[in-house]
Structure 1
Amino acid sequence: MQLPFLTGYCDRLSVKPGDDIRFMISGDGADTAEVQIVRLIHGDENPEGPGFIEVEIDATCNGSVAITEQYTQTGSYMEIDGDGARFDVGGSFTLHAFVWSTTPTKGRQGILTRWSAPSARGVALGINDQGRLAVWIGDGGAIEEIASSEPLEARIWTFVAASYDAQSGTLALRTEPVINAYNSHLSPVVPRSKQSEASKATTIKPVAPAVGLLLAGFYGDDRGRGASIDGLYNGKIDRSGIHTRVLSPTELAAIREGEMPPPDGLLTYWDTTVGYTAQGIGDTLVDRGPHAMHGHGRNRPIRAMTGYNWSGRDDCFRLAPEQFGGIQYNDDAIIDCRWTPSFSWTVADDIKSGVYAARLRTGALEDHLVFFVRPIAPTAKIAMLMPTASYLAYANERFVLQHAPGIEAVTAHTLILHDVDYLLGQHAEWGRSSYDHHNDGTGVCHCSYRRPIMGLRPKHRMASTGIPWQFPADMSIIYWLEQCGYEYDVITDEDLDREGVDCLRPYRVVLNGTHSEYYSERMLDASEEYLAAGGRIMYLGANGYYWVVAFREDEPWCMEIRKLDSGSRAWQAAPGEHYMATNGDKGGIWRNRGRPPQKLTGVGFTSEGMDESQPYRRMPDSYDRAVSWVFDGVDNDVFGDYGLAQGGAAGI
């Protein structure tokens, strides 16, 4: 049964008074919702604690707002500049590409296309319903297809070329594996056919559709926001191109061997290795052809991946960029839902720094779209650093539901599911966490907050343990600060990554959250510099300063992670794909880059268990005069043997 829902997200997580923030809402079962800006004090509804506490705030955006269910385009793909008119599908042509498919049997997929499925017009080089490389053309009434003689093998680099001779009406396809000892799932010792060629004469002359060129998909039906992208491809695509003539077997063989395509008749040549710098590579796919028909990645196709010619010697794109032309596409990737804004708010000048939300209500449905307000200039001696990078890493984790028996064994708890867990299961388009896998089994390495995030809600409880986790757990620190009467400012990981130590320097002490696990180099540098200069950090969590992450300066809402071959991990990056495209840094855990958390805070994560929580015990060094003042007012050597999270202060 499809559950009714009301949800949304903000376009920014961290704002100051005077900033504009936009809210995107989607829902079904009602036409309107009531909006109320609230300040959040505590989230956990456990009756043994303070309960849920929010304070309503006067705001110009409060009131009724129209809502509708908004469409989300999932899947990563490459959109090519222009309307595709330069590619005359009715004339002679050759399409070619290097491909490494991860799900060849999932159904029809586009590789290089100018194809409209609703109108059955255009040309597509792709994979057909039988899992074979194919080319198909359409004139709006009939479709002609020719496919390879053998099914496409998964995770094996293959060169594919398709041509159409407008004079003779001949449609042709040529495929050939491109395998060395390193680049594919199988090695050259495994017998396989070396080459497949097929051709046929057809009376169908392709007619140009009213759509442009795509890599890794083709155009489908209009679903309320323009034509959708269907036929989404899973796997990698390396260099590809189009000629406005039929290339000879000799010319195709030269391209397969790594030579530049011949200039005669060249329309486009998308060189996936162009654009690398020491700081990584962006979403633009460079066309080295005469018309500069560049591609632009949607939903963040993954760059800095090994290509068809990877030799296995160099594990970083900086050393041999010509071997890192692979771009990985996933049919379930989502970086930005790109919903239409439902309302916006200019944060009032008199708003106090803190944790806020736009509360949405309609009928029995309620949601909180959380954001954080920092001051225009620091106003307090204490800063509460909200670990938003870790919120992103765990955003919409699905592994708990997909691997319930294993999770229950690890946590020693029976899953406790709530409506939001079922809702998340019904909405794959809201994306996954860095603990999940894509549909093709590859790990999720990009996480974003421009989508609904179920765990970024004050009342959320973790299904595997039945307790607050990440953001809802950090709200207990906010409540403690409020109850003690401390003046404090709220800042976020996003602010720290952008501003460095300047973000921390004004404060005498910085409080960290309950699980500040994910840290960029800029964040770690700033924390270290702040402490070295005499600042103080109250590290109130565990498993902190663990994974390396990266953010683009102009896109703080998207984080990249590469999980490597050590550490407590849900997946592992493939050989040669350990360096992040975002900034060129090596991924993995900070310990393996010479910066274990013990060097910063004196303690670090070594093991885990979630069956019960334990108290703390004072160690002999805690009585040293230099630090004993920390325990003033603590009467016992054992403390924290109680609490709302499984009966103790430490263990989650």
Structure 2
Amino acid sequence: MKITGYTDRMSVQPGENIKFMVNSHHKKYKAEIVRLIHGDSDPKGPGVKIEKIAARVNKEYNGRKQDIHMGSYIKFDAHRIFEQISSFSLQAMIFPTTPELGTQGILTKWSPADQTGYGLFIDEKGCLALWIGDKKGNVEKISTNQPLVSGCWYFVGGSFDADSGKMTIFQEAVISKTNGRFSLPYGADNQNISNEKNIKVQPCADNNAPFLIASIFEKKSEGKYKVINRYNGKIDRPRMASIALSKEEMTAWIDHPSGEGLVAAWDFSEGITKKGFKELEKVYDKSPNQIHGETVNHPTRAMTGYNWTSEEQNFVHAPEQYGAIHFHDDDLTDAKWDVDFEWKVPDNLKSGVYAAHVCAGDDEDYITFFVRPKKGQPTAKTVLIIPTASYLAYANNRFQDIPLAQLMFGRAPVVQQEDMYLGEHAEYGLSTYDHHNDGTGVCFSSSLRPILNMRPKYRHNLSPSLWQFNADLHLVDWLTEKGFDFDVITDQDLHLEGAELLNQYRVAITGSHPEYYSGQMLDAIEDFQSDGGRFMYMGSNGFYWVVAFHPENPNIMEVRKNYGNQGWKSKPGEIHLSFTGEQGSIWKHRGRAPQKICGTGYVAEGFEVSSYYRRTEESFDPKVDWIFEGIDKDEKIGDFGLVGGGAAGLELDIYDTELGTPSHAVIIASSENHTSVYMPVAEELYFNIPGLSGAENPRVRADMVYYPTPNGGAVFSTSSIAYCGSLSHNNYDNNISQLTENVLRRFLSDQPLPWGEKEQALTKS
């Protein structure tokens, strides 16, 4: 893994430029644009298929190392008031989550190189501390000498009086019935500490160190910095004064900062609107000085503050109770590498899946991107919607580190080179299935970093073979081999352009696992269906998690988790998305179950062997039996494949009229004989009882469903993630391939779809 890279965007169209950022440990490397068709290296399948594309950027480049600096914080532009400080006070409400990890900056203007400046810290013993360093490098520190407790709010402050040389510091636990781990102040008395001492050192504030919240800067080279001593936890209502305030005066400033010496009174709830944060990266100073700041690497906002009462669960309705920002020492939303080369996509380049193949010796990376057709100029009747939101959700996941993974998978996880590398390189960022170092869930993911599991040849440890990106290349390969013309768009394109984008096509096809969807995407799919579009849902567990994209930077996605099958749960009061203000978690709990979109919805999972489908009696009705043309009546459907050995596996969807499956929808096939590793998903359970596994529970199955929609449209759903892995079996000559081809060719034709008289009326305007 000595060469990695990423692009400035995931979707690009002919005529546009795309930028490539590369980190190389080699002095030289070669780059070549390639088209990706099949990424599965399994010898049982057709093998990896990659086509070279002629491009002016195909050449040798000078390699260079590019570092990633993770950790979220707030930075401020240089301001004379920070540099002219002699006496000062610093205060905040803090909710530390890893005080035991040692030194962490809270409010700092500190230069570690020459040990000058001032700041409020958590020290190496996990105690609150105030530091002062003079221009000669003399340092004075004062500590409460009482370790902070994680998950507890504190009112903290420190001051220095330049005339008397007096340093003071205090911490006071702030415990209510709802705002933290504890509801009553048992043992809190020993957390309420103050300390003071007189010193001769005067702070050297003019030290070229910026004022920061939640970290300090360490200079690496001219113009290059990284943040160190990064803070984990929440901060609410930070304040600064140019005089030494008493504790009583600081207490008055919590909610009403004013008067002599006021430098800054930051209000992290400022900017909350009915549609989320107006400017998520900006923090506002309510003092006359207007020293506004900018967040870096997206610390989490819309978080409960020290005064949260639990009476309101949505931050947009009670912004005064959501004045906290949660910082993490491993946050990352932009690696901020320099550009190595840039390519203008040719006007005649075919829409599809592409990559810049960068290599040096035996080291290589495929920097993946997607080429859509020019806006308003479709080149085919069929469009494949690439589920990039789901790719972001699983980006650089570390499932091999989950203690229960072996039980979930029914086997020991198979670890790839990329997984090993990520285990040693946390700076490449986390997936939305991982936890931060402080144990809280990861709710942001970004494509502005190398994504090591979104590349050909990668075999995912969650699946018996492939998952997400390479599993979707199974479908790309089949469409290519069968000679179907198709365009590629991403679900981010769908989010931004809606049904107008889809309505240019007759048939829209999903990938194998379109799990993460925004409201705009759902609207586009439903409007497309309503307008007569024909829709092929080629996977399972689709349209499940609610997501939102950053309004100015769609490379960044947000999710909040609760209720469903998940790697973590949002804390109370923190389920709403900061980007939009809408409720997060799963669409089912917002009245938009997947059954309304595709006739089936998520019911069970089992990351072990896959099974097969069996035709239903209803499938022999003349109005649907054309789907099985060329397939023997009694044969098993898909008892083969590259993903677990069958077409029905990993995750399964089921027909359910109570959740919105249209009453005229027909189950044309259902899977059977799943193992005991397959279990119902959490939201399907009311009580845990014996007999729920796939070996005993008839609801653990995949339902293949077909039904008409208005204006001559229709929906076909496979309801299994493993399905596309069976398409290439026996050189593409098999019943899964035949069935899929029957549906797609009929969907593409101008011939009306056969259906009964009653149901046919539904297809008329």
Q: Does TM, scored on the shorter chain, surpass 0.5?
A: yes
Would you say 1:115 and 2:110 are equivalent positions?
yes
1:516 corresponds in structure 2 to: 514
AA aligned to 1:46 is D
Would you say 1:148 and 2:148 are equivalent positions?
no
Secondary structure in structure 2 of the residue aligned to 1:122:
strand
Would you say 1:270 and 2:282 are equivalent positions?
no
2:82 corresponds in structure 1 to: 87
Q: In structure 2, what is the Cα distance between the partners aligned to 1:621 and 1:157?
A: 61
Alignment check: 8 A CA contact 1:89 1:123 kept:
no
2:754 corresponds in structure 1 to: none
Alignment check: 8 A CA contact 1:372 1:491 kept:
yes
Would you say 1:580 and 2:574 are equivalent positions?
no
Alignment check: 8 A CA contact 1:94 1:161 kept:
yes
Secondary structure in structure 1 of the residue aligned to 2:60:
strand
What are the superposed Cα offsets for residues 440-474 of structure 1, whole Å, 9 maximum, x if unpaired?
00000001111111111011101244411100010
1:560 corresponds in structure 2 to: 558
Would you say 1:124 and 2:122 are equivalent positions?
no
My pick for the range that moved more, 278-287 or 242-251, is: 242-251
Number of aligned positions between the proteins: 642
2:454 corresponds in structure 1 to: 456
AA aligned to 1:513 is G
Deviation at 1:89, TM superposition (A): 5.5
Secondary structure in structure 2 of the residue aligned to 1:308:
coil
Alignment check: 8 A CA contact 2:85 2:242 kept:
no
1:651 to 641, 649, 652: 649
2:35 corresponds in structure 1 to: 39
Alignment check: 8 A CA contact 2:464 2:607 kept:
no
1:351 corresponds in structure 2 to: 349
2:413 corresponds in structure 1 to: 415
1:598 corresponds in structure 2 to: 595
Would you say 1:329 and 2:346 are equivalent positions?
no
1:378 corresponds in structure 2 to: 378
2:617 corresponds in structure 1 to: 620
Would you say 1:54 and 2:50 are equivalent positions?
yes
> Do the aligned partners of residues 306 and 230 (structure 1) sit closer, same or farther apart at CA in structure 2, a change above 3 Å counting?
same
1:498 corresponds in structure 2 to: 496
Secondary structure in structure 2 of the residue aligned to 1:640:
coil
- Rg larger in 1 or in 2? 2
Deviation at 1:413, TM superposition (A): 2.4
What are the superposed Cα offsets for residues 41-96 of structure 1, whole Å, 9 maximum, x if unpaired?
1110111211111111111111001111211110010112x214312464111111
Q: What is the root-mean-square deviation in Å for CA atoms of aligned residues?
A: 1.4
Deviation at 1:250, TM superposition (A): 2.7
Q: In structure 2, what is the Cα distance between the partners aligned to 1:32 and 1:487?
A: 38
Secondary structure in structure 1 of the residue aligned to 2:349:
coil
Would you say 1:392 and 2:392 are equivalent positions?
yes
Alignment check: 8 A CA contact 1:71 1:224 kept:
no
Would you say 1:133 and 2:128 are equivalent positions?
yes
Q: In structure 2, what is the Cα distance between the partners aligned to 1:471 and 1:230?
A: 35
For residues 191-270 of structure 1, what are the structure 2 equivalents within 5 Å? 191-193=187-189, 195-208=192-205, 209-222=207-220, 226-256=224-254, 259-270=255-266
Q: In structure 1, what is the Cα distance between the partners aligned to 2:343 and 2:527?
A: 36
Secondary structure in structure 1 of the residue aligned to 2:272:
coil
2:161 corresponds in structure 1 to: 165
2:64 corresponds in structure 1 to: 68
AA aligned to 2:476 is I
Deviation at 1:625, TM superposition (A): 4.0
My pick for the range that moved more, 39-48 or 83-92, is: 83-92
Q: In structure 2, what is the Cα distance between the partners aligned to 1:191 and 1:128?
A: 22
1:364 corresponds in structure 2 to: 362
> Do the aligned partners of residues 262 and 195 (structure 1) sit closer, same or farther apart at CA in structure 2, a change above 3 Å counting?
farther
Deviation at 1:189, TM superposition (A): 4.1
Q: In structure 1, what is the Cα distance between the partners aligned to 2:360 and 2:326?
A: 41
2:401 corresponds in structure 1 to: 402
2:544 corresponds in structure 1 to: 546
Secondary structure in structure 2 of the residue aligned to 1:371:
strand
TM-score normalised to structure 1 length:
0.96
Alignment check: 8 A CA contact 2:89 2:244 kept:
yes
Would you say 1:175 and 2:171 are equivalent positions?
yes
Which runs of 5 or more structure 2 residues have no equivalent in the other structure?
A: 651-765
Secondary structure in structure 1 of the residue aligned to 2:21:
strand
Percent sequence identity over matched residues? 43
1:100 corresponds in structure 2 to: 95
Secondary structure in structure 2 of the residue aligned to 1:474:
helix
Secondary structure in structure 2 of the residue aligned to 1:555:
coil
What are the superposed Cα offsets for residues 215-272 of structure 1, whole Å, 9 maximum, x if unpaired?
000112316761211110000001111111122333222234xx31123221111011
Deviation at 1:293, TM superposition (A): 1.0
What are the superposed Cα offsets for residues 9-31 of structure 1, whole Å, 9 maximum, x if unpaired?
11111000111111011121x11
Alignment check: 8 A CA contact 2:418 2:453 kept:
no
1:78 corresponds in structure 2 to: 74
Secondary structure in structure 2 of the residue aligned to 1:390:
helix
Secondary structure in structure 1 of the residue aligned to 2:276:
coil
What are the superposed Cα offsets for residues 314-345 of structure 1, whole Å, 9 maximum, x if unpaired?
01112211000110000001101001111110
Alignment check: 8 A CA contact 1:393 1:518 kept:
yes
Q: In structure 2, what is the Cα distance between the partners aligned to 1:437 and 1:224?
A: 34
Secondary structure in structure 1 of the residue aligned to 2:81:
coil
Alignment check: 8 A CA contact 1:435 1:443 kept:
yes
> Do the aligned partners of residues 480 and 161 (structure 1) sit closer, same or farther apart at CA in structure 2, a change above 3 Å counting?
same
Alignment check: 8 A CA contact 1:414 1:464 kept:
no
Alignment check: 8 A CA contact 1:15 1:372 kept:
yes
What are the superposed Cα offsets for residues 574-594 of structure 1, whole Å, 9 maximum, x if unpaired?
000010101111111111111
Alignment check: 8 A CA contact 2:463 2:643 kept:
no
Q: In structure 2, what is the Cα distance between the partners aligned to 1:625 and 1:289?
A: 75
2:717 corresponds in structure 1 to: none
Alignment check: 8 A CA contact 1:239 1:269 kept:
yes
Alignment check: 8 A CA contact 1:414 1:465 kept:
no
Which runs of 5 or more structure 1 residues have no equivalent in the other structure?
A: none
Alignment check: 8 A CA contact 1:84 1:211 kept:
no
Q: In structure 2, what is the Cα distance between the partners aligned to 1:238 and 1:544?
A: 37
Q: In structure 2, what is the Cα distance between the partners aligned to 1:388 and 1:98?
A: 38
2:713 corresponds in structure 1 to: none
Q: In structure 2, what is the Cα distance between the partners aligned to 1:189 and 1:236?
A: 20
Q: In structure 1, what is the Cα distance between the partners aligned to 2:366 and 2:82?
A: 48
1:610 corresponds in structure 2 to: 607
Secondary structure in structure 2 of the residue aligned to 1:473:
helix
Alignment check: 8 A CA contact 1:125 1:135 kept:
yes
Q: In structure 2, what is the Cα distance between the partners aligned to 1:436 and 1:149?
A: 33
AA aligned to 1:166 is A
Q: In structure 2, what is the Cα distance between the partners aligned to 1:551 and 1:17?
A: 24
Q: In structure 1, what is the Cα distance between the partners aligned to 2:170 and 2:46?
A: 69
2:486 corresponds in structure 1 to: 488
> Do the aligned partners of residues 224 and 452 (structure 1) sit closer, same or farther apart at CA in structure 2, a change above 3 Å counting?
farther
Q: Which is bigger in relative contact order (C-alpha 8 A, separation at least 6)?
A: 1
Deviation at 1:211, TM superposition (A): 1.9
My pick for the range that moved more, 348-357 or 216-225, is: 216-225
1:635 corresponds in structure 2 to: 632
My pick for the range that moved more, 183-192 or 233-242, is: 183-192
TM-score normalised to structure 2 length:
0.82
AA aligned to 1:280 is G
Secondary structure in structure 2 of the residue aligned to 1:608:
strand
Alignment check: 8 A CA contact 1:90 1:205 kept:
no
Q: In structure 1, what is the Cα distance between the partners aligned to 2:463 and 2:409?
A: 7
Q: In structure 2, what is the Cα distance between the partners aligned to 1:176 and 1:491?
A: 54
1:529 to 520, 527, 530: 527
